[in-house]
Structures are given as C-alpha cells and as structure tokens.
Copies of this chain bind each other. A is one copy, B any other.
Amino acid sequence: MKKAVVLLSGGLDSAATLYFAKKQGYKCFCLIFDYGQRHKKEINAAGKIAQVASCKSKIIKIKLPWKGSALLDKKIKLPINDCPLPAGRQGPITIPSTYVPARNIIFLSFSLSYAEAIGAKAIFIGAHAQDYSGYPDCRPEFYRAFARVISCGTKAGVEKKRITVKTPLINKNKAQIIKLAVRLGTPLGLTWSCYRGASKPCGVCDSCYFRAKGFQEAGIRDES
C-alpha cells in the first residue's frame, strides 16, 4: 500500500485533505505541529481526527524563539473579517498578521524528512485558494519551487524515488472544500478553526468568519 505523510492542523482543510488522501488509496501518516501557536485546541483536534481516521500520527514540537506573527505573539492583534481577495484571484497580495515566517516551509521540510525515512511517495497539505490570496506559502508557485528542492536536495530525489507534494484543495474555496469534506465522510464536527482557544469559537476572527461563510455558501450546517 502506497504511503503518504499528511500535514494535519486540526482545521477543516487538513482534515478534508486527510480523507482525500485515504480515498486515493494511501496509507496515511499524520504530522501535527506544536509550534507555539496561541492555544492547544487545534493540536488536540488534529490528534482526534487522526485517531478517528485510523491513522498513525506524530506530534512535532518546535519552538520558534522569535516573534513576527499574531499566531505566536499574543501582543499582535488578530485580523478580524478583513476580506482578502476573492478565491483564485491573482493580484498584489496582502499578507495577514497571522503569517508565521516560513511556517509551511518548516512543516514541509519535516514532512519530507518523514517521507524519506518511511519511503512515502506523497506529502499532502491542505493549502487552498482562499489562503493563497494572503499567504505566500499557500500558492501553487511555491509548491512548484518546493518540488525542485525535493528532486535535487534529497536522497530520494537523487535516487529517482519521487516524492510529490499534493495540494488537492489548492483551487477550491471554503464552500467547495466543505462539500468535498462531507462527501468524503470527514468528521468536520471534530475540527477546530478559531484562532482563539476559548471553550467555543469566537465567531469574529478571520478563521471563524471564513468557516461560517463557507458552511453558509455550501448550505451545510456546522456541527462542531
């Protein structure tokens, strides 16, 4: 059975991506990052999702001893409904305060190390259209550049044992992702999107806003 490493954040995008990878016939090995984010809710959610999906998961604990992101530094204000560009639109991008310097590059590097170590053929990540209007490391050109890093910077690449980064959601908006997730049987009720870590989602941060809008547009009730 072909193996894949799946980046799992606890949010709905990565959960849908995991179920997509499973549907494609991959035996999935989930990587969850504890990188000093504002709260542990999403880490716990990710662990539960992996368990329900009957997949192995590993938590990678890293500490970035520098600031520069609202996700790492509680003194920086979280963005609230600041309406980035519509999904898929190309144009000058505005990078939100939740950008963590080189975060996806760090996550992908660990995934790549794991993939090489276990002989996995693919790395799945839930980057998507709505994000790439804001986050540079969610854009297709970044993934193309990273593919070249894999092919010439790893043992697997040199030995022509291809490892591919798969971004099945890259061209989808939130509503489309939610529909896909439901079709694949993703336990969306277990996912956590809110940037804050209160007992219930705050309902006003960017992440809550896009989630609510997505469910509304998809005509599906959010059971979380």
- A: residues with CB less than 8 A from B are 58, 60-68, 93, 95, 99-106, 108-110, 112-114, 116-118, 136-137, 139, 141-142, 145-146, 148-149, 151-155, 157-159
The interface residues of chain B lying within 8 Å CB-to-CB of A93 are 158
Q: Could you tell me if A62 and B62 are in contact, using CB atoms closer than 8 angstroms?
A: yes
7 A-B pairs, CB-CB below 8 angstroms? A60-B62, A62-B62, A102-B153, A102-B154, A136-B152, A137-B153, A142-B152
A195 to chain B, nearest CB (A): 18
A10 to chain B, nearest CB (A): 19
The interface residues of chain B lying within 8 Å CB-to-CB of A146 are 149, 153
- Please, how many angstroms separate the alpha-carbon atoms of A149 and B136 in the complex? 10
The interface residues of chain B lying within 8 Å CB-to-CB of A102 are 109-110, 112-113, 116, 153-154
8 Å CB contact of A157 from B66, B116, B136: B136
- Please, how many angstroms separate the alpha-carbon atoms of A118 and B101 in the complex? 10
Q: Could you tell me if A67 and B142 are in contact, using CB atoms closer than 8 angstroms?
A: no
Identical chains in the assembly: 2
Q: Which residue of B lies closest to A101 (CB)?
A: B116
8 Å CB contact of A105 from B58, B67, B117, B154: B154
- Please, how many angstroms separate the alpha-carbon atoms of A142 and B150 in the complex? 9
Q: Could you tell me if A117 and B153 are in contact, using CB atoms closer than 8 angstroms?
A: no
Q: Could you tell me if A117 and B68 are in contact, using CB atoms closer than 8 angstroms?
A: yes
8 Å CB contact of A106 from B68, B106, B137, B148: B106
Q: Could you tell me if A155 and B101 are in contact, using CB atoms closer than 8 angstroms?
A: yes
Q: Which residue of B lies closest to A110 (CB)?
A: B106
Q: Could you tell me if B153 and A66 are in contact, using CB atoms closer than 8 angstroms?
A: no
- Please, how many angstroms separate the alpha-carbon atoms of A79 and B93 in the complex? 49
